[in-house]
Amino acid sequence: MPQGDVQGVTKQYKRPLIVGLFLATFGELMIFLIFGVLLYPEGNLMSKFLWTVLFCGVGMGSALGTIIDLAVVGRLNGKAAIIACTVISIAILGFGCNFLCFNLDQHFHYFGGQDSPRLFIINGIVMSAIGGALGGWLLFTDSGSRILDKLGV
């Protein structure tokens, strides 16, 4: 395989990991700031930060990027890929991670899962849908790919 082809394939598989990590970590940082600091400031801020940004953001962003690599890269493009990324994100982050965190929050009382369970669950599902659609658009459309190229991703 020529060197240019290897670089293109490498970039094709690295991008979902980078985008997944960035979007999940950014989303978790917003959850930390809004729910963990502003709305529910009680509790240890370092523990809240580690839970949201480090474990959930990095862990679930990596898992999301890997699943997109396995299920979407090289198979889908455009609208179909955006839909697939959105569905994957909702399934992994919006339901899997969100319900796990909701159950953990019942014990730790960090993010308002007891006071506002609907808000907790709906926020996670909506944020994962928006992030999945945005990630799919960035990764699998020409206009999104141009943005990633400009950013050096």
Q: Give me the mean pLDDT over the 137-148 stretch.
A: 98
Q: What is the pLDDT of residues 78-128, one digit of tens each?
A: 999 999 999 999 999 999 999 999 999 999 999 999 999 999 999 999 999
Domain assignment of residue 44, yes or no = yes
* Over residues 62-75, mean pLDDT: 97
In a domain, 5, yes or no: no
Query: Does 123 fall in a domain?
Result: yes
**Tens digits of per-residue pLDDT, 22-62?**
999 999 999 999 999 999 999 999 999 999 999 999 999 99
* Residue range of the domain that includes 139: 15-151
143 occurs within a structural domain: yes
CA 12 vs. chain centroid, Å, equals 18
Residue 124 located in a structural domain:
yes
Decide if 146 is inside a domain. Answer: yes
pTM comes to 0.93
Q: Is residue 135 part of a domain?
A: yes
Structural domain tally of the chain?
A: 1
Residue 4: per-residue pLDDT: 63
Question: Is residue 1 pLDDT above 60, yes or no?
Answer: no
Q: Is 107 exposed, middle or buried (0-12, 13-18, 19+ CB in 10 A)?
A: exposed
